[in-house]
Amino acid sequence: MSRVEAMARFHTPNIPVSQPDAVAMTDVSYFTPLRYATLVHLCEIMMPAGDDYPSASKAGTPEFLDFYLGASPDDHQALYNNGLDQLNADSMKQFNIPFAKADAKQADAVIRPHLKGWMNDHPPREGQVRFINLAHRDIRTATINSPAWAIAAEAVGERTPGVGLYWHPIDPGIQTWVNRGMAQATPTTKQKHS
């Protein structure tokens, strides 16, 4: 058998791998300290720990959102920056306390007026109402889809959550467009909400 034929018959050894979240943390680098403190508190208020499941903070959601928003288009960044600022300003105005230090009742007073149900691709359009409801959706999603949540599910004997059919890149020919592509995308539409 030639070396090439032998190589072709070689099967991948089974080496279990872990996700980085199991051993490492994300550095917080996008939000200002005040905004980040506001976000951390918002995460804790919106998604506290359940009997068997971790809170948003324990699931690393604030760090994840800091990373995610830092890489997001300008309009999504502005939504969060303005929304967190407004949350803090509302708390200061009503209680003279930063939102990050507001107790549950005070936090509720500045959050609840903005809660609104929505569906499909149509979150509310109005400024702070939009932020609160989209941030709520993002916090829930980032938490429920976190490695910590999956570990908790396993611990209580639940099925692995969020299993879906993942498509790998399909024979992409990446060189083609990386090297030759001069094309530019049209600007991000304001109507994309994730």
Partner 1 sequence: MGEPRDGSGHTHHEAEALLRHFASQKESRESMAQKKVDVLIIGSGHTGGLAAKILTEKGISCTMLDAGPMLNFEKYRELKPVHELPYRGFDAPGRLPHVFQSSEFNANQWVDEKVVPYYHPPEQPYNWVRVRSVGGRSPFWGRQSFRHSDYEFKSKDHDGFGENWPISYKDLEPYYSPVEALFRVTGHTDGLSQYPDGNFIEDKSPWSDAMQRFVDSGKKLGVPVTKPRSSLGKDGMAASINLFLPDAVATGKLTTIPNAIVRQVTMDKKTGLADGVIFIDRHSHREMVLKARVVIVAAGTLETTRLLMASEICNSSGALGHYLTDQIYGAGIICSVPEARDGKAAHGLMGGGALIPRFRNLETKTNGFLRGYAVNVSCNNGPFDARALPFYGKELEQKLQSYNGSGFSTNIMGETLGHYENHVSLNKQVVDAWGMPTLNIYTKYTDNETNMAKDYIDTMAAMAEAAGFDILIKNYEFNPPGYSIHEQGTARMSDDPKKGVVNKWNQSYDMKNLFITDASVFVSAGWQNPTITMCALTMRASEYLAEEMRKGNV
Judged by the rule CB under 8 A, the positions of this chain that interact with partner 1 are: 19, 45-48, 50, 64, 68, 71-73, 76, 111, 115-123, 133, 136-138, 140-142, 145-147, 149-150, 160-173, 175-177, 180-189, 191-192, 194
Cα–Cα distance, 10 to 175 (Å, whole number): 28
* Closest to partner 1 by CB, 37 or 152: 152
Report, in Å, the least distance between residue 35 CB and partner 1: 18
* Closest to partner 1 by CB, 83 or 123: 123
Report, in Å, the least distance between residue 93 CB and partner 1: 21
* Closest to partner 1 by CB, 33 or 117: 117
Tell me which long-range contacts 78-82 makes (C-beta under 8 A, separation of at least 24): 79/130, 79/131, 79/134, 80/31, 80/35, 80/39, 80/131, 80/135, 81/31, 81/35, 82/127, 82/131
Report, in Å, the least distance between residue 191 CB and partner 1: 6
Question: How far is the CA of 177 from the CAs of 71, 153, 186, in angstroms?
Answer: 22, 41, 16
* Closest to partner 1 by CB, 95 or 118: 118
